[in-house]
Amino acid sequence: MHTSPLKRREVLAGAAALLVRPPASLAAASLMIVTPGQTEGPFYPLSFPVDMDADLVRVKGQAARAMGQITHVSGRVLDRRGEIVRGATLEIWQCDANGIYNHPRAPGHARHDRGFQGYGRTEVDAAGRYAFRTIRPVAYPGRTPHIHFKVHAPGLGRLTTQLYIAGEPQNATDAVLNAVRDRAARESVIVRLEDASDVEPGALKGTFDVVLSL
Ligand SMILES: [Fe+2]
């Protein structure tokens, strides 16, 4: 059968396009690193504060705002194909600027910063995004700076993990962080903070996308 040279070129070009362009979902699947699960630790709240919104820097009824450097942490909740997870809820908790958790079993609890909420909860928006206003986490004895996260996707799954700050010297020796043996997974929970003066004076911001094993 005779095929014109032009037609054959078109057929070959079409075949090549199929080879180099996998379906979008397959391409994404090979890119997403599932966020590793990490211990909840001992300081998840026993009872939730009256004020538990996504702004941990201001506590209702407290005149002073939290001590520490204001830090905006935001991102998306995704599945392993890179699709947004609708309806996901996120909780965070962390110690105050002096390394004290608002938890009855926390060392120094009586001295915790009353202006720091310590725990916050939010839901992703229609675009799968969340945002918290909190403080830059600080080190406390035995731990590099970190923020605890719990992510709950109703009917789909949940994840407990921790976020770390790029450039912190104690990251290299932190037992919890280094229990994540896979290097790419470990790096996926280390967030680079940058200046956020455009958002508010003296603040920092960082992006943390949570990828669920869905
Ligand atoms: Fe902790």
> What tens digit of pLDDT does each residue of 185-205 get?
999 999 999 999 999 999 999
Distance 8 CA to ligand 1 centre (A): 63
Rounded distance from Cα 99 to ligand 1 centre (Å): 9
146 CA to middle of ligand 1, Å?
Answer: 6
pLDDT of 17 higher than 50: no
| d(CA 43, ligand 1 centre) in Å | 7
pLDDT at 30: 64
Task: Quote the strand ranges of the chain, DSSP E.
Answer: 70-78, 89-93, 119-123, 129-135, 146-153, 157-165, 190-191, 194-195, 204-207, 210-211
Residue 157: both structure tokens together: 């799954």
pLDDT (tens digit per residue) in 131-189: 999 999 999 999 999 999 999 999 889 999 999 999 999 999 999 999 999 999 999 99
Q: How far is the CA of 163 from the centre of ligand 1 (A)?
A: 10
11 C-alpha to ligand 1 centroid (Å) = 59
pLDDT band at 8 (very low <50, low <70, confident <90, very high): low
3-state class (DSSP) for residue 88 = coil
Separation of CA 100 and ligand 1 centre (Å): 10
pTM of the model: 0.86
Torsion region of 9: left, alpha or beta (phi above 0 gives left; psi -120 to 50 gives alpha): alpha
Dist. CA 68 → ligand 1 center (Å): 17
